[in-house]
Amino acid sequence: MSQPTNKPVPGRHGHPPAGYESPGVDVLGRASAGPLAGVVVADFSRVLAGPYATMLLADMGATVIKVEGPGGDDTRTYMPPVRDGEATFFLAVNRNKHSIALDLKNPEDLDVARSLVLSADVMIENFKPGNMARLGLDYAAAAELKPDIIYASITGFGTGAGAHIPGYDLLVQAASGMMSLTGDQDTQPYRAGIALFDVITGLHAAIGILGALHHKDRTGEGQLVELNLLTSALSGMVNQSAAYVTGGVVPARMGNEHPSMYPYAPMKTGDGTIIIATGNDAQFVRLCGALGIPGVASDPKFATTLQRNAHRNELRDILHARLATQSAAQWFRELSAAGLPCAPIQDVRGGVDFAEQLGLNPVVLAGDGPRKIPTVRHPVEYSRTPVDYSLAPPELNESSGLIREWLLHRKTLAHA
């Protein structure tokens, strides 16, 4: 693996005097030219959906103050795997943040939390419905403190009849129908290999917050931004949920095959398997030409997407017979050279290494000094306002002193 990359920017401890605020330098001293520089986020979320959203915002330059309970975010204990005794799960979604540990049942710590809300542009939380109201930190209370606050709230199944259901990704994978689509017809349903709907909800949360920030820029108004895992799941299932909602069809498990396109699946070769993805009729003609079976493309049974789906079993046998004459690696080289969509099937190490071979630089170092941690690159590149990775995922309560100093300075200014 090649060396991770990073931009040399000032780190957590090179901070300016308390209260110094300007675009490009956050309130705790992190320098950033990102598009969200100057935005302050009070992050009361934990585990995955919320922290993933706030990491994306932090990468873009926002000051993200992560509020953790005295024991820290649950994912600090999600081990193995570990890096130097720290859970890689936590490290995956918490770079570029400042940590403060607060016991929200303690009146003094609750006052600190309220001061954070008063000083923030955005607040995000994913507590069980009702918990924040009992603490006096729900949207109504936050908006009373800060009328223009953007308050993002993430639940598992909404705040109505599903409010009592815990918001675990696996429950949503099951309840949404997604697991019914994963696996072969003769196997049990399977979950995705990642917490898919936590990640999708995190993406939706980041989008919702950005939309609300734009509205605030135009009008000065804050607002409540509500998300739940189940709604995000149904949205993220796109064509499969639409099959039922729009077409009245209940999709079923098809293993690795696509319900609407063929060939669009793993295909057997002489020594292994390769993914071939044919998205339209023209690509199928080119595929048959590259495989040396051009007559197959002109056969009426295979000439259109609809016909290929109707005769996929017969077509599969024809393709496998031809693909069996060479190795997966050789077919990958030849089909790729012909501009046809195909890919090797690899493990995660292979995926990262492949991205490196393509020059995508997937691994970046978060942090400076002795605490530099390899992390996966932010997915967006900006030509004018680049993201940065100046802060490693924080140790628990690492920035408490700086945060309290900043809040005290703001309070002093407000009463001056």
Smallest Cα–Cα separation from 326: which of 245, 365, 278, 270? 270
Catalytic residue of the set 198, 299, 353, 368: 198
- For 383, residues 6+ apart whose C-beta sits below 8 A from its C-beta are none
Instruction: Give the Cα separation of 153 and 205 in Å (integer).
Output: 9
Instruction: Give the Cα separation of 229 and 168 in Å (integer).
Output: 8
Backbone angles phi and psi of 224, in degrees to 5: -90, 130
Buried b (16+ CB within 10 A) or exposed e, 306-319: ebbbebbeebbebb
Residue with tokens 């967006």: 380
Q: Is 198 a catalytic residue?
A: yes
3-state DSSP assignment of residue 377: coil
- For 389, residues 6+ apart whose C-beta sits below 8 A from its C-beta are 6, 7, 59, 95, 96, 364, 365, 366, 367, 375, 378
Instruction: Give the Cα separation of 104 and 132 in Å (integer).
Output: 10
Smallest Cα–Cα separation from 43: which of 205, 220, 217? 205
Catalytic residues: 198
